[in-house]
Amino acid sequence: MGQGLYVDGRWRAASDGGTAGVVNPATEAVIVAAPVGTVADAADAVAAAHRAFHDGRWSGLVPADRAAALRRLRQRLGDRIGHHVALSVAESGAPHGQSTAFVTAALAHLEYAIDVATGEHDRMLPPPPRPAGGPPRVTASLVRRVPVGVVAALTPYNAPLMLTLPKVAAALTMGNTVVVKPSPYTPLEILALAEAADEAGIPPGVLNVVTGGAEVGAALTGDPRVDLVTFTGSDAVGARVMAQAARNVTRVVLELGGKSALVVRADADLAMASRIGAVNTTTLAGQGCALLTRHLVHRDMFAGYVAALAERLSTAVLGDPAHEQTTLGPLISAAHRDRVSAAVQAAKARGARAVVDGGPVGVGGRGFFHEPVVLTGVGNDDPVARQEIFGPVAVVLPFDTDEEAVTLANDSPYGLAGAVVSADRMAAVAVAERLRAGRVSVNDGATADVRLPFGGFGRSGIGREFGLEGVLEYTEVQTLQW
């Protein structure tokens, strides 16, 4: 991993020399003292990206040449996949198996973006009808996809490489330059990404990494030289990012929060439904925006589902995320663990029943762990059913008809994901089609497919990531006529 910030193809200390310890959330030990960038560093990074874009050192290359450079980046990342997995485990606390899956998926998204970018996205149109009695004024029209320019990417702490590399890949393949600001909790994977880019010969200024807090993020989103801001995080912070970008009418791509619904119909396979519910409760310790955290269960299945879910969660292996058998790692910080616990306690004070009543724990007396929680006895209007808790907490609510299930699922400020479990596939699809969410699966239909766009409705965001749609977010449409 490179030492320092990566700006204009060089490693350097923060302008004020600032550093902060990156803490392992499982052990509370400091992994390393990482640089903490400043507003001045952010300005330098944007200036470097601006120069690199406008002098054509990257945007002026033909797609095949950009693809060749990015394939070298893919090779270097792949050669060190174990290193990136270890960084993910150490700084984010994601268990080894989950970290491996997310790092592998990140590389797959890079490969897909390279392949898409070398395709043809321009359209040549025939001339319009000749004006009566006169010569044609236009002989040809070309609709082109051109790069946006300078992209500021603000990325989160959960699965850092997976939630950063697809943004970088989509932006770079289409000819843009990028400044990445990783989460202060998890800068190491992204600094390692910059090191790989440097070794791959990506030209100076094309990819820059500046660490730091909210003030650095605000400097990036408010800089008039930035042409697009892409952000993944909470809807509250996303709203602030959007407001900051709006001052310069800067485009935004926002992938925000979720309170996604798992709909379990009366004919559902109970084993399948409870397995899906348990996985969505424990993956990344619940720190995933697309996880299914509202479980809407037909009343005839309710008691059986709750019991089956509780049984599955009792087998979750909470512990050291470096161990391959661990399925439930820590939350990112002590403060976040306390917020999750406070949300659960507040729900119980309002009358929620904790069928699975987990709380904050340590492993060997250390770490920011929280046991799983399953709450029942609340309505869909309760804060615990409407707000994103971002912890291993599931809320189970009953319904009597498909119409009620759809109403409950859509009665949310969010609309990121959803799922329907039913033995009647066509009935399940009919329900799924009515859910106001960006990605909906039926039964075991949720698979990792890099071709599929990802994003949400409502407060879950604006725009799409992944797939062709995600790549084209980093382009402008230009029409040429001659």
Catalytic residue among 91, 189, 195, 255: 255
The one-digit pLDDT tens for each residue of the chain (482 residues) are 567 999 999 999 999 999 999 999 999 999 999 999 999 999 999 999 999 999 999 999 999 999 999 999 999 999 999 999 999 999 999 999 999 999 999 999 999 999 998 888 889 988 877 777 666 666 789 999 999 999 999 999 999 999 999 999 999 999 999 999 999 999 999 999 999 999 999 999 999 999 999 999 999 999 999 999 999 999 999 999 999 999 999 999 999 999 999 999 999 999 999 999 999 999 999 999 999 999 999 999 999 999 999 999 999 999 999 999 999 999 999 999 999 999 999 999 999 999 999 999 999 999 999 999 999 999 999 999 999 999 999 999 999 999 999 999 999 999 999 999 999 999 999 999 999 999 999 998 777 899 999 999 999 999 999 999 999 999 999 999 98
- CATH number for domain 5-256+460-481, candidates 3.40.605.10, 3.50.50.60, 3.30.70.80, 3.90.1300.10: 3.40.605.10
* CATH 3.40.605.10 domain extents, the chain: 5-256+460-481
- Looking at the domain that runs over 260-449, which CATH code has it been given? 3.40.309.10
Answering whether pTM is above 0.85, one says yes
What b/e string do you get for 49-71 counting C-beta neighbours within 10 Å, with b at 16 or more? bbbbbeeeebbeeebeebbebbe
Q: Which residues of 245-258 are buried (b: 16+ CB within 10 A; e: fewer)?
A: beeeebbbbbbbbb
The yes-or-no answer on residue 111 being catalytic is no
Q: Which residues of 141-173 are buried (b: 16+ CB within 10 A; e: fewer)?
A: eeeebebbbbbbbbbbbbbbbbbbbbbbbbbbb
* Contacts of 464 by beta carbon, 8 Å cutoff, 6+ apart: 253, 438, 453, 454, 455, 470, 473
Domain with CATH 3.40.309.10 in the chain: 260-449
